Amino acid sequence: MTTTLIRGAQVVFPEGVRASNILLSDGRIAAVDVTAAVEASEVIEAAGLHLLPGVIDDQVHFREPGLTHKEDLLTATRACAKGGVTSFLEMPNTKPTTTTVAALHEKLELAASKCIVNFGFYIGATPTNLEELQRAERTPGIKIFIGSSTGDLLVDDQQALERIFGETSLPICAHCEDEATVRANAAAIQGGRDYADHSRVRDNRAAIIATRRAVDLAERHRHQFHVLHVSTAEEVAFLRDTSELISAEACPHHLFFSTDDYPRLGSLIQMNPSIKSPADTQAVWQGLLDGTLEVVATDHAPHTLEEKQQPYPKSPSGLPAVENSLALLLHQVSLGRCTLSQVVSWMCEAPARVWKLKNKGAIRVGYDADLVLVDLKRTETILNDRQLTKCGWSPWHGTSLTGWPVRTLVHGKTVYQDGQVLDGATGREIEFQR
Ligand code: DOR
């Protein structure tokens, strides 16, 4: 049996940060606070580093099957390993869409042969696939596009939504931008010509109308519901008073970019929901800090630069982020804007809790040894030509950050160390507690 001793790290436990030696055995955390002299087949010297649970990114678009010129499960999970992301939950807008149990199982099989990190896949709702949603089991939950985005998944019809919330039992998450509002806004400015028009088409009203509508459905049907990518001050204010059935998340692009960045970055920050005003960005931060939003996830949505460089509105929405999200948040720790324990809560503990991942999201005896060692003092600059995502660019190109993952372990096996990804299908299917 392989055993690994991680010696001398400052460990981020759910109850706080302290020095501890951690023993891993058979892919699990076997013991904490062991003596430094304990026998192990491998010893990782981690003095000066912090040990965190691996990041769980509950919102990514990895493009396989069908859109693999943008990304695939191998390139995406190499990027995850580098970024300290040890588990991901992927969205159904691939080609074909993941809207049947058969398509879900095919994706799971494909992932088992390719993924370096652990994987789970949502099943997508359509106006007519209720039975599939009722039958699906090996999935964190149901994704609804209440408002269209990349691809053609959309459920806008009230009756169809009532049935999905009323007659299924898996947790639901949704992309909340009101379709009618988006269409009316687009018509009012003849579709728009400038990338900045994207934030006029997909405005604050579109977001809050759809978020209110979805939360109303969830609360009436007593259904667990997660609001993806909150982008507006109005949504944060509204979500402060919702019930325990409702959880919500923020994404790095809504925390670190605003409409002020369009002149510099143009379509690189064209996203759905759109980037909003600096005041909205502040409000989303405040929502995280006061616990209204509990998860940080990326919405990693790569497109090629060639696709992105098309004139608006032909340019597609989406940007890559999995390999930089943890560093972006660790940098905020270095600036004193939040604590390391808050980052672990947002990126590890909360997604595991919301989606009921079995044995993940914390450093606890018996939990999976999905871990990331970070160097809080290391400063590096994000550069397009160093990105592992297949699309080969980052909207944060040229940004220097302090605080980086240096080693990532999945089920006790090192998958990334000091700039090198160690390839192999080390990822496993995530299990859910129901
Ligand atoms: O900007 C986005 N891009 N938002 C989404 O909801 C989908 C994503 C994509 O798949 O490209």
pLDDT score of 20:
98
Q: What is the mean pLDDT of residues 28-32?
A: 98
Please say if the pLDDT value at position 339 is more than 90: yes
Residue 269 — pLDDT band, cuts 50, 70, 90? very high
Q: What is the mean pLDDT of residues 394-404?
A: 98
Percent of the chain residues past pLDDT 90, beyond the cut: 95
Is 171 a pocket residue for ligand 1 (Cβ < 6 Å)?
A: no
Q: How far apart are CA 273 and CA 287, in angstroms?
A: 17
Whether 135 and 99 have beta carbons less than 8 Å apart is answered as no
pLDDT score of 192:
85
Collapsing DSSP to helix, strand or coil, 301 comes out as coil
Pick the closest to residue 40 from 69, 70, 5 (CA basis): 5
Give the type of residue at 417: Q
Tokens 């972006």 found at:
328
**Dist. CA 165 → ligand 1 center (Å):** 23
Residue 152 — pLDDT band, cuts 50, 70, 90? confident
Q: What is the mean pLDDT of residues 197-221?
A: 97
pLDDT digits (tens, 9 = 90+) for 44-63: 999 999 999 999 999 999 99
**Dist. CA 199 → ligand 1 center (Å):** 15
If phi > 0 it is left, if psi is from -120 to 50 it is alpha, else beta; for residue 366 that is left
Q: How far apart are CA 143 and CA 124, in angstroms?
A: 5
Residue 148 — pLDDT band, cuts 50, 70, 90? confident
Percent of the chain residues past pLDDT 70, beyond the cut: 100
Ligand 1, residue 303: give the atom nearest the CA. Answer: 11
Active-site residue list: 299
Whether 389 and 303 have beta carbons less than 8 Å apart is answered as no
**Dist. CA 319 → ligand 1 center (Å):** 8
**Dist. CA 427 → ligand 1 center (Å):** 24
Please say if the pLDDT value at position 149 is more than 80: no
Q: How far apart are CA 185 and CA 201, in angstroms?
A: 5
Is 148 a pocket residue for ligand 1 (Cβ < 6 Å)?
A: no
Please say if the pLDDT value at position 395 is more than 90: yes
pLDDT score of 21:
98
Residue 262 — pLDDT band, cuts 50, 70, 90? very high
Pick the closest to residue 323 from 306, 300, 346 (CA basis): 300
Residue 151 — pLDDT band, cuts 50, 70, 90? confident
Does this model's pTM top 0.85? yes
- Collect contacts of 411-414 with beta carbons under 8 A, ≥24 apart: 411/27, 411/118, 411/368, 411/369, 411/370, 412/2, 412/4, 412/24, 412/25, 412/26, 412/27, 412/28, 412/369, 413/27
Please say if the pLDDT value at position 98 is more than 80: yes
Q: What is the mean pLDDT of the chain?
A: 97
Is 175 a pocket residue for ligand 1 (Cβ < 6 Å)?
A: yes
Q: What is the mean pLDDT of residues 309-329?
A: 97
Q: How far apart are CA 272 and CA 224, in angstroms?
A: 23
Pick the closest to residue 133 from 86, 181, 168, 185 (CA basis): 168
Q: Report which protein residue has its CA nearest ligand 1's atom 4.
A: 272
Query: How many residues belong to the chain?
Result: 434
Higher pLDDT, 434 or 113: 113
pLDDT score of 207:
98
pLDDT score of 147:
77
- Give the domains, in start order, of the chain with CATH numbers: 3-51+366-383+400-421 (2.30.40.10), 54-354 (3.20.20.140)
Is 317 a pocket residue for ligand 1 (Cβ < 6 Å)?
A: yes
Q: What is the mean pLDDT of residues 279-290?
A: 98
Q: What is the mean pLDDT of residues 242-249?
A: 96
Pick the closest to residue 225 from 258, 205, 249 (CA basis): 249
pLDDT score of 41:
96
Residue 425 — pLDDT band, cuts 50, 70, 90? confident
Widest CA span of the chain, in angstroms?
Answer: 70
Ligand 1, residue 61: give the atom nearest the CA. Answer: 10
